[in-house]
Structure 1
Amino acid sequence: MTMVYEKSKGLTDVPFHYCPGCTHGVIHKLVAESLVELGVLDDAIGVAPVGCSVLAYKYFNCDMQEAAHGRAPAVATGIKRVHPDKVVFSYQGDGDLASIGAGEIVHVAHRGEKITTIFVNNAIYGMTGGQM
């Protein structure tokens, strides 16, 4: 039998438990496939802050670090400066990045830090019932 689809090696075997329609599962799949396709999975370090995004440490098959609410860009900057040879990314939701963490991401961008930020704007900012 020919294999049509195989789960990405960038994901662990832990089943997702996100709410239907939140898009975290789809984004995890795409990020994991990208890490494998680029050949950087073994050199990747992810940062996940508070909120639903924090659960990423259970699902990505790479090193993960948790961060305080809105502070993932600062933590990712510190990790990248200590490990300049690693691929460092933050995985943040809209409440974390566009609300409490807006100042952090602006300063990281202004300094030109060599990190990647994955911004999950699923318009389901949990505390307020939604934002655009």
Structure 2
Amino acid sequence: MTMKTVFKKTSGLTDKPTHYCPGCTHGVIHRLVGEVLEEMDILEDTIGVASVGCSVLSYEYFNCDMTQAAHGRAPAVATGVKRVLPNRFVFTYQGDGDLASIGISEVIHAAARGENITVIFVNNAIYGMTGGQMA
């Protein structure tokens, strides 16, 4: 009998166990992003930008080059990275408190300028790092 692999870990993620709270969607979203990076065969050409909030530790999970940005400033950092390294795939990974609150102007202006970056917006509706207040 031949065994068929039904499920395997994507090479787009590291082997680090997750730190997220039970029920949090960050882990699922990490897997989806990791799978896409692997399927597109761009892991070696990708740079991610993690911002403040629960998403800040995403650099420990994605198996690509990552950098950090100040709270709400990931689109600005990603813009700089993309302009210096135009042949790389550059993405931000941001939660709702970071992107839709303090960083809303950054993402609006990046979009208005037509920056060639991808912004991943994780809306889990809470400020998880400061006690779980509604976002």
TM-score range, shorter chain: over 0.9
Q: Rg: which structure is higher?
A: 2
CA displacement at 1:78 relative to structure 2 = 0.2
The alignment's TM-score, normalised by the length of structure 1, stands at 0.96
How many angstroms apart in 1 are the aligned matches of 2:63 and 2:77?
19
Residue 129 (structure 1) aligns with? 133
Q: Do residues 26 (structure 1) and 13 (structure 2) align?
A: no
CA displacement at 1:130 relative to structure 2 = 1.3
Match of 1:36 among 25, 32, 38: 38
What is the percent sequence identity of the aligned residues?
69
Match of 2:86 among 73, 84, 91: 84
Which residues of structure 2 form unaligned runs of 5+? Answer: none
Which has the larger displacement, 69-78 or 15-24?
Answer: 15-24
Query: CA-to-partner distance for each residue in 1:94-121, whole Å, 9 max, x for gaps?
Result: 0000000001001000000000000000
Residue 109 (structure 1) aligns with? 111
How many angstroms apart in 2 are the aligned matches of 1:76 and 1:44?
11
How many angstroms apart in 1 are the aligned matches of 2:65 and 2:56?
13
**Alpha-carbon contact 1:22-1:124 (below 8 Å) kept:** no
How many angstroms apart in 2 are the aligned matches of 1:90 and 1:20?
23
How many angstroms apart in 1 are the aligned matches of 2:32 and 2:42?
14
Which has the larger displacement, 18-27 or 121-130?
Answer: 121-130
How many angstroms apart in 2 are the aligned matches of 1:88 and 1:20?
29
Residue 2 (structure 1) aligns with? 4
Q: What is the aligned residue count?
A: 131
How many angstroms apart in 2 are the aligned matches of 1:130 and 1:38?
35
How many angstroms apart in 1 are the aligned matches of 2:13 and 2:37?
10
